[in-house]
Amino acid sequence: MLYVHPLDVRNRARRLYLSGSSIATVARAVDLPYRTVWHWCRDRPEPKQPGSQGRCFRCRDVLNGPSDPQAYAYLLGLYLGDGHLVTTARIPVLRIYCADAWPTLIDLCEGAMLAVLASSVQRVQKKGCVGVQSYGKHWPCLLPQHGPGKKHDRPIVLADWQGPILAEHPGHFLRGLFHSDGCRVANRVTVRGKEYVYPRYMFINLSTDIMGLCQWALDLLGIAWRMNRPNSLSVARRDAVAALDRHVGPKS
């Protein structure tokens, strides 16, 4: 007899995996075999569904939102930072570029694509980075911010249905933004001859619209920020950094 695990257990496993846990750690957390969790998170993160629109929640008969809204919020943040959606090809392709220096980020990006829509993901090695990509007819449905040219040269506005998802999961959205166009650094200052070192987050983006979305998400979480340059946002207060650590943390 085939035993089907409850959906909430499967979703918990995927959330743990997308938050950075290894397959082995997740398997121990949900008390299930390694192979079962690997199958959920890496091999087939969604059950097969009939028809090409089965996994696109925008094209279902009932618009009930993404099956994994946290993964969607994270993926949207990555896309707005380092992503590109090509719609001129026969089948649209989503590409997000991740530096070789952050192998865990590459895994998280692939996992988010699989959780949101992709049935398969390819990694294309470039000089100093990896292009994590997925072909899918429905990527334009889920990423309506796509368009010709650079993001900072065109308006980036959330669709009506995207706002509630990000408002419910602003931490995952910020994680995607800071994992793409942000960093956590050790800031050094000298006061009266004594050097002090403290952590701070930086987010840099030329798009005023994307910067505004980052500010909006930080405000939702009550995290203090300031603009140190027109295209650069800083989170430096000790309590604010600690709060952002709980949602983002350093890249790896």
Please indicate, yes or no, if residue 240 is contained in any of the structural domains: yes
Which residue did the predictor score with more confidence, 240 or 54?
240
The answer to whether residue 18 sits within a structural domain is yes
* Residue 238 maps to a domain: yes
Is residue 159 included in any domain, yes or no? no
Residues 79/96, Cβ–Cβ less than 8 Å: yes
Q: What percent of the chain has pLDDT over 70?
A: 90
Domain that holds residue 17: 1-43
Q: Is 235 domain-assigned?
A: yes
CATH of the domain at 183: 3.10.28.10
pLDDT tens profile 191-227: 777 787 889 999 999 999 999 999 999 999 999 999 9
What is the reported pLDDT for 1?
Answer: 34
> Is residue 208 one of the residues assigned to a domain?
yes
Report pTM.
Answer: 0.77
For the stretch 135-178, pLDDT in tens is 999 999 999 999 988 999 999 999 999 999 999 999 999 999 99
33 CB-near residues (< 8 Å, 6+ apart): 27
Identify the pLDDT of residue 54. 56
Between these two residues, 242 and 17, which has the higher pLDDT value? 242
- pLDDT more than 90, % of the chain: 61
Confidence tier at 56 by pLDDT (50, 70, 90): confident
Structurally, the chain folds into a number of domains equal to 2
- The CATH number that applies at residue 38 is 1.10.10
What integer pLDDT is reported at residue 190 of this predicted model? 73
In a domain, residue 10? The reply is yes
The pLDDT assigned to 44 comes to 54
pLDDT of residue 160: 93
Residue 83 maps to a domain: no
